[in-house]
Amino acid sequence: MLRYGFGPVDRVILEAVYIGDQPYLKFLALQLGHFGAPSAVMLLVVGAAVYLLMNHDYWRAPIPLVATLLAHAACLGQQMLVGRPRPHDLVGLPPLSAPSFLPTRVVDPLVAYLLVALLLTNGGRKSRLLVAGAVLVGGSNGIVRVILGHHWPSDAVAGWAFGAAVALTAYYLSKLLPRNRAASDVLYRRAQTGE
């Protein structure tokens, strides 16, 4: 199943949503896809790291970058291992040679946007809107990749599941780390109290 996805079902869904050579829809899809571009994802995770550092949350600062890079590496490994071919024989689709499963352009944005939203809001009740927006923006790239014909629908679903699992795991592991305490702050407090 990893090699061939859902076969005929994937093909039927892809042909139903594929936009082909419709220039306006293709332009809009490409613009929306920029939110999932590697440069946008890296800008987001580095910006989040800087924000967390500025708020003295030194332990959590590298988590978005590390989690996104690990998820990306896992996707590349799966692509080499599984080797699922990309969609083909669609009118106007350029030839795509890289394997299709797991799609880095679906996983990376979901991991980055969801994890950053959770870390910056600390997962509180008031953060639901921001987390929903992060899932919407991060997950939209899966839809974009399918309607452009770059990935099978089952690739996008697997990418969403894997990305969400990585983001949630990283977030819950981050809760085990000390909060807002740099090593220098701890040493200073100990020196002041004489411990």
pLDDT, tens digit (0-9, with 9 covering 90-100), for 48-84: 999 988 988 888 889 999 999 999 999 999 989 988 8
**For residue 2, what pLDDT band results from cuts at 50, 70 and 90?**
low
pLDDT at position 128, please?
A: 83
pLDDT at position 5, please?
A: 67
pLDDT of 139 strictly over 80: yes
**For residue 121, what pLDDT band results from cuts at 50, 70 and 90?**
confident
**For residue 186, what pLDDT band results from cuts at 50, 70 and 90?**
low
pLDDT of 112 strictly over 90: yes
CA dihedral sign, ordered 87, 160, 143, 37:
negative
Please indicate whether residue 195 or residue 161 has the higher confidence score (pLDDT).
Answer: 161
The first and second tokens of residue 171, run together, are 């977030």
pLDDT at position 56, please?
A: 85
- The 10 Å CB-count burial string (b at 16+, else e) for 119-145 is bbbebeeeeeebbeebbebbbbbbbbb
- Within 8 A by CB and 6+ apart from 155, the residues are 5, 84, 100, 101, 102, 103, 106, 145, 146
Chain-wide mean pLDDT for the chain?
84
pLDDT at position 115, please?
A: 93
Do the Cβ atoms of 162 and 71 come closer than 8 Å? Answer: yes
Give the position of tokens 């790291």. 49
pLDDT at position 185, please?
A: 56
pLDDT of 169 strictly over 90: yes
pLDDT at position 76, please?
A: 92
Alpha helices (runs of H) in the chain, residue ranges in sequence order: 8-17, 23-33, 38-54, 63-82, 104-121, 128-147, 153-174, 183-193
Residue 4: helix, strand or coil by DSSP? coil
Mean pLDDT for the stretch of residues 17-33 = 83
Instruction: Give the pTM.
Output: 0.83
